A and B are shown apart, each in its own frame.
Chain A
Amino acid sequence: MAYDTALLVGVMFTVATYLILQKNFIRILFGFIIFTNAGNLFLLSISGAPRHRRMPILEEGRPVSDYVDPLPQALVLTAIVIGLGLTVYLIMLLYRVILDSKTIDTEKLFQPEEGDE
């Protein structure tokens, strides 16, 4: 479990970093979505392999090590919600930037225009 999750998180980070370093900001947006999700997956992997373990509902006479650690899962729920909100906000911001500047190229976007001081 640890190795395959680590591999997946690693691949996701690589892809996300590649996308974030692009000029096209639609790609940057997708880079961020993957980046946040890689972060969430990393956080989830902290609770350990679920194999042979039970859901965290306490029963009499069972050792604590039999259960999956519920805290990272609670954390990741919060993180997913925050990430969703931010992604929606980023999409709306980029939509407005596209409407205003008629470009999706960050290099063109930040070139000084006529009348800039």
Chain B
Amino acid sequence: MNNLVIAPFALPLATALLCLFAGRVAVWRRWVVGTSAFVQLLVAVVLVFQVVGQTPLVVVMGGWTAPLGVALVVDGLAGLMLCLSALVAFVCILFSYLELQVEDEQPMRLPLMQLLGAGINLTFITGDLFNLFVAFEIMLVASYALLTLEANDRHIKEAFPYLTVNMFASSIFLMTAGLAYAVFGTLNLAQISERAAAMEGEFSVLLVMLLLMVVFGIKAGVFPLYYWLPNSYPILPYSLAALYCGMLTKVGVYVLLRMLCTVFPHSLERVHIVLALLAGATMVMAALGAISRNFIRGILSFQHVSQIGYMILAIGLFTPMAITACVFYVIHHIIVKSSLFLMGGIAYFRSGTDYLERMGGLWKISPLLGCLFLLQAFSLSGIPPLSGFWGKYIVISESLDKGYFWLASAALLASLLTMVSMMKIWLKAYWSKAHEEQGPTVSPNAIRGMTLIAAVMVFFSLCIGLNAEFFLNIAQTAANGLMDQSIYRESVLQTLGKGGNP
């Protein structure tokens, strides 16, 4: 039964390969990918039920013991992330079917989306630092290719900063993995955590963690090095932008959580403070950037970076409650942000343009879309009782408890600025008068389908907001599993000790 652990990686990979060999685009290929995405979602749900509040599932690949073998571990947080990534991938794939006619679809788009999913899922389940690097590369290579696949001549240059910044981070990650092997003598995360605990307070441990912080800070889009993100995401088609914003940067947040909570000793306070300060800067700077943009995808991408700041701030505060809030925020944000991108897509397809100056009158054309958009906009900026409020509330009250008044006010300010940029979209695209040259670019049925998909996502997000206690409990269980290093360590080392045969 434990072999199910490999499925979130193996299934998308197999689907991608199948699609590659299938050649031309056809309707049956869409069915295969759609079914596979649905099965992935089911597998992830099954895994979540097996791991939340229980011991992690561990599988050692090929039966080799560490340090030779690679362990795959699914604990509470990894299970939740797998579930969310499968959900977002499924929704985005359905949305992309409506976005384009079968004959207009790029033949490489679906296989690359599956490959991206495989990379993302492998980063969640891997228990080995070098394997994490490989998973990151699978994910990034697929994301580079998807970014440039459908970009036009004017936009293709934006891929260049994306590529260089991420390649730079990958090189540093590779060296950090090497350094970790030199310092700890192993790459297995559980063994590293054991040895790092024994070496607590030594400079080399701090150095490895600082380097990891730089690497995953870049990937997550934290303050000084976020500029590649809000300029490159807008060149993606909407369904892909939703997938990128939903999952790609969350991988950075996830790995930071994993490293700081489960692998490295909790006494690295200097790292925590640096993270918290950078998070404050990220929130405010990116929220200001969002106001400066004049097209929907640009605004949403900048807001996305600003929201990452809240999660990083929660990690930087590093109290059990803050980590719970971080996990809750990740759950909320993945759903809200991807649904906002999907709704931006619907607005785009209805008016045929992305630029706010040329949009308008959407409220009259479709009040339902307006309501959905308002709900998510309020949720993102944190108005009670919607899902964004709870995460923000805990983060701010924890930072006040710790005496970081500046960070708490930065968080409040960023939330206000988010609201302002949301209202910019609302006033220009929904509330103002319609322009004459507007016209939908896809069929009415497709728009109805897209609205249905967005409505389902909004429904999920409402469920999270109105059932906050239930979701906070899940987040707390996952956070406890993260913070209590012995659970993770023992379950992995036990399996390794038995030569990989559980």
Residues on A lying within 8 angstroms of B by beta carbon are: 20, 25, 28, 32, 35-36, 39-40, 42-43, 46, 71-72, 75, 78-79, 82, 85-86, 89-90, 93-94, 96-97, 100-101, 106, 109-110, 113, 116-117
A43 to B294, CA, bound (A): 45
Cβ B295 vs Cβ A93 within 8 A: no
Partner among B154, B174, B295 whose Cβ is within 8 Å of the Cβ of A43: B174
Cβ A46 vs Cβ B157 within 8 A: no
Cβ B167 vs Cβ A86 within 8 A: yes
CB of B277, distance to nearest CB on chain A (Å) = 25
Residue numbers in B under 8 Å from A35 (CB-CB): 168, 171
Q: A75-B130, A97-B156 are in contact. Are A36 and B171 (CB under 8 A)?
A: yes
A105 to B437, CA, bound (A): 38
CB of B299, distance to nearest CB on chain A (Å) = 13
A94 to B68, CA, bound (A): 39
Cβ B178 vs Cβ A72 within 8 A: yes
For the complex with contacts A72-B178, A100-B156, 9 further pairs of A-B residues with Cβ separation under 8 Å are: A20-B168, A28-B164, A46-B181, A71-B68, A82-B137, A82-B141, A82-B170, A86-B141, A90-B163
Cβ A117 vs Cβ B148 within 8 A: no
Residue of B nearest to A85 (CB): B141
List 9 A–B pairs whose Cβ atoms lie within 8 Å, in order of A's numbering.
A20-B164, A36-B171, A43-B175, A46-B182, A71-B181, A82-B170, A86-B170, A97-B157, A117-B295
CB of A82, distance to nearest CB on chain B (Å) = 5
Residue of A nearest to B129 (CB): A75
Residue of B nearest to A43 (CB): B178
Residue numbers in A under 8 Å from B453 (CB-CB): none
Cβ A96 vs Cβ B181 within 8 A: no
CB of B209, distance to nearest CB on chain A (Å) = 18
CB of A75, distance to nearest CB on chain B (Å) = 6
Residue numbers in A under 8 Å from B163 (CB-CB): 89-90, 93
Dominant secondary structure at the A interface:
helix
Cβ B171 vs Cβ A46 within 8 A: no
Residue of B nearest to A37 (CB): B171
Cβ B177 vs Cβ A109 within 8 A: no
Q: State whether the Cβ of B134 lies closer than 8 Å to any Cβ in chain A.
A: yes
Residue numbers in A under 8 Å from B174 (CB-CB): 39-40, 43, 79
Interface residues on chain B, size class: 35 or more
CB of B425, distance to nearest CB on chain A (Å) = 15
Cβ A42 vs Cβ B178 within 8 A: yes
A46 to B184, CA, bound (A): 12
Partner among A39, A72, A97, A117 whose Cβ is within 8 Å of the Cβ of B171: A39
Q: State whether the Cβ of B404 lies closer than 8 Å to any Cβ in chain A.
A: no
Cβ A93 vs Cβ B141 within 8 A: no
Q: State whether the Cβ of B160 lies closer than 8 Å to any Cβ in chain A.
A: yes
Q: State whether the Cβ of B159 lies closer than 8 Å to any Cβ in chain A.
A: yes
Residue numbers in B under 8 Å from A42 (CB-CB): 175, 178
CB of A107, distance to nearest CB on chain B (Å) = 12
CB of B152, distance to nearest CB on chain A (Å) = 9
Cβ A109 vs Cβ B141 within 8 A: no
Residue of A nearest to B182 (CB): A46
Cβ A75 vs Cβ B160 within 8 A: no
4 closest pairs, A vs B, by CB? A43-B178, A100-B153, A39-B171, A46-B182
Which of B145, B153, B357: most chain A Cβ within 10 A?
B153
Q: State whether the Cβ of B499 lies closer than 8 Å to any Cβ in chain A.
A: no
Q: State whether the Cβ of B393 lies closer than 8 Å to any Cβ in chain A.
A: no
Cβ B141 vs Cβ A39 within 8 A: no
A46 to B175, CA, bound (A): 10
Q: State whether the Cβ of B144 lies closer than 8 Å to any Cβ in chain A.
A: yes
CB of B273, distance to nearest CB on chain A (Å) = 28
Residue numbers in B under 8 Å from A79 (CB-CB): 133, 174
A93 to B147, CA, bound (A): 11
Q: State whether the Cβ of B67 lies closer than 8 Å to any Cβ in chain A.
A: yes
Q: State whether the Cβ of B355 lies closer than 8 Å to any Cβ in chain A.
A: yes
Cβ A110 vs Cβ B157 within 8 A: yes
A101 to B163, CA, bound (A): 18
Residue numbers in A under 8 Å from B141 (CB-CB): 82, 85-86, 89
A100 to B134, CA, bound (A): 32
Cβ A109 vs Cβ B167 within 8 A: no
A50 to B168, CA, bound (A): 29
CB of B175, distance to nearest CB on chain A (Å) = 5
CB of A39, distance to nearest CB on chain B (Å) = 4
Q: A32-B164, A32-B167, A117-B355 are in contact. Are A109 and B178 (CB under 8 A)?
A: no
Q: A94-B160, A97-B156 are in contact. Are A46 and B168 (CB under 8 A)?
A: no
Cβ A46 vs Cβ B178 within 8 A: yes
CB of A116, distance to nearest CB on chain B (Å) = 8
Residue of B nearest to A106 (CB): B160
A82 to B136, CA, bound (A): 11
Residue of B nearest to A45 (CB): B178
Cβ A39 vs Cβ B157 within 8 A: no
CB of B306, distance to nearest CB on chain A (Å) = 22
Residue numbers in B under 8 Å from A96 (CB-CB): 148, 156
CB of A18, distance to nearest CB on chain B (Å) = 14
Residue numbers in A under 8 Å from B137 (CB-CB): 82
Residue numbers in A under 8 Å from B153 (CB-CB): 100
Cβ A93 vs Cβ B159 within 8 A: yes
CB of A20, distance to nearest CB on chain B (Å) = 8
